[in-house]
Structure 1
Amino acid sequence: MTGIEGPFWRAIAVFRVASLVYAVVLLARAGGYAHPATGWLVIGVMALWTAATVFAYSVTEFRGRPLLAADMLVTVGCLLATPFVQGPYQQGSLPITATWMGGAVLAWGVHGGRRLGALAALAVSLADLAARAAGASGPPGVEAVPINGVVLLFLAGVLVGHTARLAKKAEERMQQAVEMEAAGRERERLARGIHDSVLQVLSLVQRRGQEIGGEAAELGRLAGEQEAALRELVRLRPVEPAAGTADLRTLLQRYGSATVTVSVPATPLSLPAGAARELAAAVGAALDNVTRHCGPQAPAWVFAEGDDGTITVTVRDEGPGIAPGRLEQAAADGRLGVSQSIRGRVADLGGTVTMVSAPGRGTEIEMAVPAPESSDVPHQNP
C-alpha cells in the first residue's frame, strides 16, 4: 500500500480479522445459536469475504466503488441472516456478525470521507434494525432499538472519514511543498546559468552602447531594459501560487508616460493577483510592440473597464497597422510576441483577444478576461 491511505486500509484489515475471530468466539460459546449449521455457513461467508477484502485493500486499483458496494452487500446480507441463525431476538444480544459489520462503514469512510461514512453507517444500522425486527417475538419496543450500536457506527463512519480526508489533504499539501522546493532549486540553477551568460552579455551591450553613442546608445538602452526584466524573472524567491486579489488599475497606471495615456475607471478592477499581473504583462507586451514598430515617440492609449463579470483592457495606437498575414508569418518564423506574450497569456486566464488593424490605420488590441466575485478571495495589494 502506498500513500497516506495505506495505514488506514491496513487498520481496517486488522479490524476485519479481529472482528471475525470475535464473531467465531461468540458463535462457539453460544453452541451455534438456534441453528448451528446456518450460523457456521454465515461465518464461512464472512471469513471468505474477509480474506478477499484484506487482499483487495492492499491493491490501490481495487479500492474503489465496486469493492465498497460489494462489501456493503455482503455485510447487509450477513446481518439479515441473524434471525435465521439465532431464532427469536434476545434483548442485548449481538447479531451474528457482531462487530464485523463495522468494517464496511470504516472502508466507506476512508474512501469517501465523513459523508459517505455516515451513509454507510445508516445503511448498516437499518439492516441491523431490520434483522432485529424480523427476529422479534412481539411488537418492537424502544428497548429493542440498538441505540448504542447505531451511535457508535455513525461516530466511526464520520470520525474515521473526516480523519482520512484530512490526511489526504495533508499529503497533497506536502506534495505541493516538495514540488515547490524542486521548482525553486531549478529556478536557482537556471538563474546561475543565465547570470553567467545572457545577463553578462546584455550588461556588456548596455555599457558599450553608451560608450559608442548614436544608434548604439539606443541598442544599449534596450539591452539594459531587457537585463533588468530578466533579472526580475530569475530572482530567487519562493515559487508559490498567487494569493488574494490585486487592483488592475494600479498595475496599468505604471505604464503611463509622456507617450502612453492610461485611462481607468474610478472603481477597482479586482482580479486574482496572478491573473492581474499576467494581464498587465500582456498589456506591456502590446506597448512594446507599439515602440518596436511605431517608434519610441509614437503615442499609445490604454483603456480599462469592468462590466458584467468581465474586465476589458484595450491598447490602441496610430501606427502603420498590421498587414494581413504578418502575424501568421511571424509565428511561423518563431517570433511569438503576439501569439504567446499577448494571446497566450490571456487564453491562460480564460479570456479572449480581439485585434483590429489595417495598413495605415493603426492597431487596436482588446483583451477581455473573466473577473471573479469580489468575495471569492481576500484583497491583496499588488
Structure 2
Amino acid sequence: MGSATRRERVVRMSVEQPLWRALTAYRVLTVVYAIGLFASAYEVYERPWVGIAYYAVLAVWTLATLPQVSGARRCTKRFLTIDLAVAVTGILLSPVAGHERAVTGGSTLPSIWTAGAVLAWALKGGWRWAAFASVLIGAANVVQRGDISRSTVHNVLLVCIAGIAIGYVVEVARASERTLARALEIEAATRERERLARDIHDSVLQVLAMVQRRGTALGGEAAELGRMAGEQEIALRTLVAEGLRQPSRASEDLSQGAVVRAVTTYAEADAPPGTEGPRDLRPLLAPHANALTTFSAPGTAVLMPSAAARELAAAVSAALDNVRQHAGEGARAWILVEDEPEAVIVTVRDDGPGIPEGRLAQAEGEGRLGVAQSIRGRLRDIGGTAELISVPGQGTEVELHVPKKK
C-alpha cells in the first residue's frame, strides 16, 4: 500500500454560543419594547424629555455594543460594569420622568431590558456574577420606589433566580466541555499512536525480524548482526506497546467555551489528484496472487471509499505477512473478495498449522501487535470488524468485514 500521511483534525465550537446569540436578540427586542411602552404612555409623564434622553442613550448603547455580547471573549468586565450602570441609571431616573406608576408598581424606564444586563453577567462569570448583578438591580428598584412592595420583591426574585440558574448552567456546560475536550484529544492521541504502531509493524519490525532470521541462518558476523537486530526489535516492540498503553496527557489550553465537537482521522495518500473518490478494491489485492496465493474476486468492480480500500488492502497484506512468517514459506493462502449488498467481505485463509489457543493474547502482551493493530486496528478505524478463526492443524482464516455506508 502506498504511504499515507495522516493527521488529526480538531474542530472546535462553543456550546454556549447560542446563548450569546439569544442574548443579542433579547437586548435588541427589549429596547424596542421599552421605547414602545414609553410611547404608549407618553402623555402621562410629567417630564417626558427625561425619558426621551434616556431612551436615546439606551438605543445607541444597545446597538453599539452588540459585538460585545456576541461572545465571552469580547464581553469584558469594563463593558459589563458600564452596561449594569446604564440599567441602574434608567431605574433611578424613572421617578424623575414623572410617571406615577414607576413608583407604584409599574415598569421602570428600561423595563425588562435590565434582565439582559444581568444575563450578560451570568454568561460571562457564572452564577456568582449573576447574583451580584441581580442584587444591584434589586437594590436600585427598592431605592426608586421607596419601599419593599410585593411586586418589587416578585420582580427582583424573578430576575435573580433566572440569572443564577443560567449562570449555573453555563458553569456546568464549561466543565463538561473541558472534560469532553480532554477525552476526545486523548482518543485522538491514542488513535495516532495505534496508526504509528501499525506502520512500524508493517515496515521496521518486519525488516528487523527478517535480518534476525537471515543473520542467524548465515552465521559468522551476520549472526551477530542478526542478534543485534533481534534486540532492537524487542526494544522497539516494547516501546510501541508502552506508548499505546500510556497516551499522553491531553492539552487543557482551551479557549473559554470551546469544545471539541469532533475528531476526524483522515489520510492524504500519494494518489494522483482526483482519485480520492470510490475505488475498486480488486487492483489493490490482485498483486498478492502468485503460485502460493490464490485470489478470487467478483467480475465487476468492488467500489469502496478510497481511504477504506487502502486500509482494507493493508490489513490483507498484514494477514499474508503472518501467513508467511508463521505458517512457513511453503504454506498456501487464499484471498476471497465478496461484494455483498450491505458490506464488503474479504477472507484470507491458509493451510498452515493454525494458531494455538491463547497465543494471540500472549503475543499482544509481548508487544507483537500484528493482529491487534495492523489488522483489527485498521478495520476498526474504517468502521469494520476482523474475525480470526484458527484450529490447530487446520490453518487459519481471517474474515474482514467492512459495512457499506448508506
TM range (shorter): 0.5 to 0.7
Residues 135 and 160 in structure 2, CA contact (< 8 A), matched pair in contact too = yes
Q: Describe the SS at the equivalent of 1:197.
A: helix
Match of 1:329 in 2: none
1:175–1:158 CA distance, 2 compared to 1 (3 A): same
Match of 1:147 in 2: 153
Superposed CA offset, 1:232-267 (max 9, x none): 1354x694759xxxxxxxxxxxxxxxxxxxxxxxxx
Match of 2:242 in 1: 233
Please show how residues 57-206 of structure 1 align to structure 2 within 5 Å: 57-58=69-70, 61-87=73-99, 90-133=103-146, 140=147, 142-143=148-149, 146-206=152-212
Residues 121 and 150 in structure 1, CA contact (< 8 A), matched pair in contact too = yes
Q: Give the length in aligned residue pairs.
A: 233
1:132–1:21 CA distance, 2 compared to 1 (3 A): same
Residue type at the aligned position of 1:222: E
Superposed CA offset, 1:7-36 (max 9, x none): 111111121122222212321222252211
Residue type at the aligned position of 1:230: L
Q: Describe the SS at the equivalent of 1:164.
A: helix
Name the CA distance, whole Å, in 1 between partners of 2:183 and 2:134. Answer: 36
Name the CA distance, whole Å, in 2 between partners of 1:234 and 1:59. Answer: 39
Residue type at the aligned position of 2:34: A
Task: Report the Cα offset of residue 77 of structure 1.
Answer: 1.5
Task: Report the Cα offset of residue 96 of structure 1.
Answer: 1.2
Q: Indicate the RMSD between aligned Cα atoms, in angstroms.
A: 3.0
Task: Report the Cα offset of residue 177 of structure 1.
Answer: 4.2
Deviating 4+ runs (over 6 angstroms): none
Name the CA distance, whole Å, in 1 between partners of 2:61 and 2:153. Answer: 27
Residues 190 and 234 in structure 1, CA contact (< 8 A), matched pair in contact too = no
Residue type at the aligned position of 1:203: A
Superposed CA offset, 1:182-213 (max 9, x none): 32342233222211232223334544566648
Name the CA distance, whole Å, in 2 between partners of 1:143 and 1:75. Answer: 20
Task: Report the Cα offset of residue 85 of structure 1.
Answer: 1.1
Name the CA distance, whole Å, in 1 between partners of 2:55 and 2:27. Answer: 13
Residues 127 and 168 in structure 2, CA contact (< 8 A), matched pair in contact too = yes
Task: Report the Cα offset of residue 226 of structure 1.
Answer: 0.7
**Under a length normalisation based on structure 1, what TM-score does the superposition of the two structures give?**
0.54
Name the CA distance, whole Å, in 1 between partners of 2:27 and 2:48. Answer: 22
Residues 105 and 156 in structure 1, CA contact (< 8 A), matched pair in contact too = no
Task: Report the Cα offset of residue 113 of structure 1.
Answer: 0.8
Determine which structure has greater relative contact order: mean sequence separation of CA pairs < 8 Å that are 6+ residues apart, divided by chain length. 2
Residues 134 and 163 in structure 2, CA contact (< 8 A), matched pair in contact too = yes
Structure 2 stretches lacking a partner, 5+ long:
1-12, 251-406
Residues 68 and 107 in structure 1, CA contact (< 8 A), matched pair in contact too = yes
1:199–1:220 CA distance, 2 compared to 1 (3 A): closer
Please show how residues 268-279 of structure 1 align to structure 2 within 5 Å: none
Task: Report the Cα offset of residue 220 of structure 1.
Answer: 5.8
Q: Describe the SS at the equivalent of 2:97.
A: helix
Name the CA distance, whole Å, in 1 between partners of 2:160 and 2:194. Answer: 51
Residues 134 and 160 in structure 2, CA contact (< 8 A), matched pair in contact too = yes
Name the CA distance, whole Å, in 2 between partners of 1:90 and 1:220. Answer: 91
Task: Report the Cα offset of residue 61 of structure 1.
Answer: 4.4
Is residue 63 of structure 2 the alignment partner of residue 51 of structure 1? yes
Name the CA distance, whole Å, in 2 between partners of 1:143 and 1:73. Answer: 23
Match of 1:11 in 2: 22
Match of 1:30 in 2: 41
Residue type at the aligned position of 1:66: R
Q: Describe the SS at the equivalent of 2:104.
A: coil
Match of 1:313 in 2: none
Q: Describe the SS at the equivalent of 1:106.
A: helix
Match of 2:320 in 1: none
Name the CA distance, whole Å, in 2 between partners of 1:178 and 1:220. Answer: 37
Task: Report the Cα offset of residue 5 of structure 1.
Answer: 2.8
Q: Describe the SS at the equivalent of 1:85.
A: coil
Residues 209 and 230 in structure 2, CA contact (< 8 A), matched pair in contact too = no
Residue type at the aligned position of 2:197: A
Please show how residues 192-341 of structure 1 align to structure 2 within 5 Å: 192-207=198-213, 212=219, 216=224, 219=228, 222-233=231-242, 235=244, 239=247, 241=249
Name the CA distance, whole Å, in 1 between partners of 2:149 and 2:121. Answer: 29
1:122–1:90 CA distance, 2 compared to 1 (3 A): closer
Match of 1:258 in 2: none
Name the CA distance, whole Å, in 2 between partners of 1:151 and 1:49. Answer: 26
Structure 1 stretches lacking a partner, 5+ long:
134-139, 243-382
Residue type at the aligned position of 1:98: S
**Under a length normalisation based on structure 2, what TM-score does the superposition of the two structures give?**
0.51
Name the CA distance, whole Å, in 2 between partners of 1:25 and 1:16. Answer: 14
Residues 79 and 131 in structure 1, CA contact (< 8 A), matched pair in contact too = yes
Superposed CA offset, 1:111-159 (max 9, x none): 11111111111111112222222xxxxxx3x436711111111112111
- The farther-off stretch of 208-217 and 77-86 is 208-217
Residue type at the aligned position of 1:8: L
1:185–1:144 CA distance, 2 compared to 1 (3 A): closer
1:77–1:121 CA distance, 2 compared to 1 (3 A): same
